[in-house]
Amino acid sequence: MSILQRVTLSSASKNIFKVYGSRLVNSTAKYCTTNDGKEKNISNVTVIGGGLMGAGIVQVAAQNDFDVVIVDKEDEYLQKCMVMVRKSIDRITKKKFPDEPKLASKFVNDTLNRIKTEKEPSVGVANADLVIEAITENLDAKWKLFEVIDKAAPKHCIFTSNTSSLPIFEISKVTSRPDKFGGLHFFNPVPLMKLVEVVKAENTSQETFDTLFQFSKDLGKIPVACKDTPGFIVNRLLVPYMMEAIRFVERGHANARDIDTAMKLGAGYPMGPFELADYVGLDTIKFIVDGWHKNNPDNPLFNPSEMLNRCVEMGKFGKKNGEGFYKYTN
């Protein structure tokens, strides 16, 4: 997490993003345009998929005065999502209003009152100005969902995906509105991580892109502009870095612990690449690299690794299940 913050917030990287941003971002950002040509502020946001990312996005949107519908497949998942949201809001409230119990309880109640739950995607998007899809990372599942909601959502509604590894244009192809389709890539944990990568795919209109950029600011985030390139900015740089560290060990040029020590003490990173890989999840990294390799077989940066594949085959997924490159006690 800290590496990501460093990458995104150092003054050098801010300057780089300004250069790219000046090409992609139009300073006169507008909100969505309805069928009759009127401009409308985004006020109703539907988040589909109430897992780790969805719960965070719901919370941040509700906290910032948006009316939010959260859609998930089962009541059980919706309840779990609301438990995550509640816990996280309580944590934030304690910090925000340590000595003001009345304001604290108003903040919690106002935020929760802005959230509705729904099982049926077509019902959940019926009044949406913006949909943020955060379901499982699977193209077929995303296609099926977007086909359904494309028929049910208002024509002015903008669609986005929080995908980490799939091309936005590819996902948008099943809809009748690729011009109103973009990427909003949040970072985990969403309530704490300031960055949002706003992705302009081949057919995303400038108006849609500007709206998404402004929406991210309205959530209190720092948006950066990026085209629809594998991994967007952060993962595109971090995943090949972690893969090269793994290949380094495969070649027998150093061991994992020494590489981690070297990058922490020599490059000033708070985590080494193997610690970071365990934190992200080795299964997740394998999934991302395999997808990129399939689509770009000639790019050596995306080559699979035997050692990573073996770890995943053996069920070593990283910190989340107790063992990856390192062992964890909790």
Ligand X SMILES: NC(=O)c1ccc[n+]([C@@H]2O[C@H](COP(=O)([O-])OP(=O)(O)OC[C@H]3O[C@@H](n4cnc5c(N)ncnc54)[C@H](O)[C@@H]3O)[C@@H](O)[C@H]2O)c1
Q: Which residues are catalytic, by number?
A: 164, 185, 197, 235
Whether 275 has a binding-site annotation, put simply, is no
Binding residue for ligand X, selected from 42, 45, 47, 53, defined by CB under 6 A: 53
Residue 102: CB minimum distance to ligand X, A: 34
Please say which residue, 7 or 52, places its beta carbon nearer to ligand X: 52
Whether 124 has a binding-site annotation, put simply, is no
Whether 203 has a binding-site annotation, put simply, is no
Q: Which helix (H) or strand (E) holds 256?
A: helix 256-267
CA distance 10 to 33: 36
Contact track, ligand X, 68-107, x by CB under 6 A:
---xxx---x------------------------------
Residue 134: CB minimum distance to ligand X, A: 4
The vertex-329 CA angle with 328 and 330, nearest 5°, equals 95
The position carrying tokens 């967007």 is: 232
Q: Which residue is nearest to ligand X (CB)?
A: 51
DSSP codes, 237-296: HHHHHHHHHHHHHHTTSS-HHHHHHHHHHHH--SS-HHHHHHHH-HHHHHHHHHHHHHH-
Subset of 128-187 contacting ligand X (CB under 6 A): 134-137, 141, 145, 162-164, 186
Binding residue for ligand X, selected from 17, 32, 49, 278, defined by CB under 6 A: 49
Whether 282 has a binding-site annotation, put simply, is no
Residue 26: CB minimum distance to ligand X, A: 26
From 181, 44, 37, select the one nearest 126 (Cα to Cα).
Answer: 44
Report residue 141 as tokens. 């599942």
Residue 67 DSSP SS3: strand
CA distance 225 to 18: 9
Binding-site residue positions for NAD(+) = 49-54, 72, 137, 142, 164, 188, 320
Contacting residues toward ligand X, per CB under 6 A:
48-54, 71-73, 77, 121, 134-137, 141, 145, 162-164, 186, 188
